[in-house]
Chains A and B, each alone.
Chain A
Amino acid sequence: MLRYIYGSDLHKLPVLAASMFKDRADQFRTRLGWEVTVNEAGEERDEYDDMNPLYVIWENDQGTHGGSMRFLPTTGPVMVNDHFQHLTTGTIRSPLIWECTRFCLNKDADGTVAAALMLGGGEIMRGFGVAHFVGVFDARMVRIYRMIGSSPEVLGSEGEGHDRIAVGLWEFNTEAQAKVAARCGISPQQSQQWFEQAFGSSRTQDWAQTG
């Protein structure tokens, strides 16, 4: 299932959280060779994890991490502005633009997990009025994004071939969302239910009548 969870609540799902940070170490340090910090427990964490971001996590049936991504609004500190501004020709700052970082998949995750995460991104855009996601991605992700039908607009890039990294901008698009949903085989009702499980439903109860 898809979990939406703020950093301050991660302790409520310790198995899921620990396996996410370990999978991030596996993906970013072991497989991609990025210079990330991995602690004694084998978990990759950075300063943005300390800023209480919102995580979208695919939870396997066993309660472990299948894939995840991390969101922060660009009104506060975000990677694109702190470290990649030379690629974007200026600061990106709007409450309607959230940064998506650390898109990570467990090494055994199948193609549907990435698509399910994208579906979760779509729920956030639709549910919270977010107009765009901005994020830094590497060459390897281009193929994955295309495969799940959610390719970003590239704002700027540097490097060549495998070393190429780019800053991309995603916007909500009903057609792309339908494609992503079909790809992961999750119904819109199911997806919405997971979203409401995390954030509450705005449809069922009447504030006035409960008083």
Chain B
Amino acid sequence: MEQNYQRLDPVVIGCFQRFHPVDWKQLDWSAKAVRAFQREAIEYGIGNQGYSVPVRGPNGQFALFTVNHSCDDATWAAFTETHRRDLILIAHYFNEKALEFEPNRTPDFAQALSPREVDAMTLIAIGYSRAQVASTLQISEHTLRVYIESARFKLGATNTPHAVARALTRGLIVV
């Protein structure tokens, strides 16, 4: 951190804001400072092969999962080719578990809105009246009230505008 390695590390630079997995060989290690960083990493026991999976989580969360090993290119290529999909899935499961351990994160996950609730909240968010929402979704206003109430409860909101605001900020609806 002190040396600002996160600004230098090709793995971080090459994976941030991305969502495809990256073999370290695909990255640019040519700059002088980067090569020094790389030598230091190897001195500290980092292997010569790496495969990193960026994870694009909910609400703009970002994580990076890496497997690292020392072996020759052919062995590494065979390993990543065979296990690539498993590594991608492991990366995402690790991330979900890590988020569960983080305080105050679990409720966000547990409270996914149902498709109908999302429809209702989305239409309200774009300015439809309750009558218009009900007619668009081809349901009665009474049924609509049930959806809104259920969504409001899941979102821990005190009223409908509050629920719409929470659904938007959590990325549960997109307008």
Interface residues of A (CB under 8 A from B): 6, 8, 47, 52, 54, 72-73, 75-77, 82-83, 85-86, 90-91, 95-96, 124, 127-129, 131, 199-208, 210-211
Contacts and interface: CB of A to CB of B under 8 A. Distances in A.
B58 A206 contact: no
Given A6-B17, A52-B17, A199-B20, A95 B29 contact: no
Given A72-B19, A96-B88, A131-B85, 7 more contacts: A77-B174, A85-B115, A86-B119, A91-B112, A128-B21, A200-B14, A210-B35
A167 to B, nearest CB: 13
Contact of B118 (A85, A96, A204, A211): A85
B39 to A, nearest CB: 5
Central interface residue in A131, A207, A208, by most chain B CB within 10 Å: A207
A211 B174 contact: no
A94 to B, nearest CB: 8
Contacts of B48: 206-208
B144 interface: no
B146 interface: no
B162 interface: no
Interface of B: 14, 17-30, 35, 38-39, 42, 48-50, 55-58, 70, 73, 77, 84-85, 87-89, 91-92, 112, 115, 118-119, 122, 171, 173-175
A200 B25 CA distance: 8
Given A8-B17, A73-B56, A201-B25, A210 B38 contact: yes
A202 B25 contact: yes
Contacts of A52: 17
13 contacts: A52-B17, A73-B19, A75-B92, A76-B58, A77-B171, A77-B174, A82-B173, A91-B112, A128-B20, A129-B21, A201-B26, A202-B26, A207-B24
A211 B10 CA distance: 14
Contact of A200 (B28, B49, B70, B92): B28
Nearest to A71: B19
Given A52-B17, A206-B48, A211-B38, A75 B56 contact: yes
Given A207-B50, A208-B48, A76 B29 contact: no
B174 A47 contact: yes
A24 B168 CA distance: 26
Nearest to A210: B29
Nearest to A129: B84
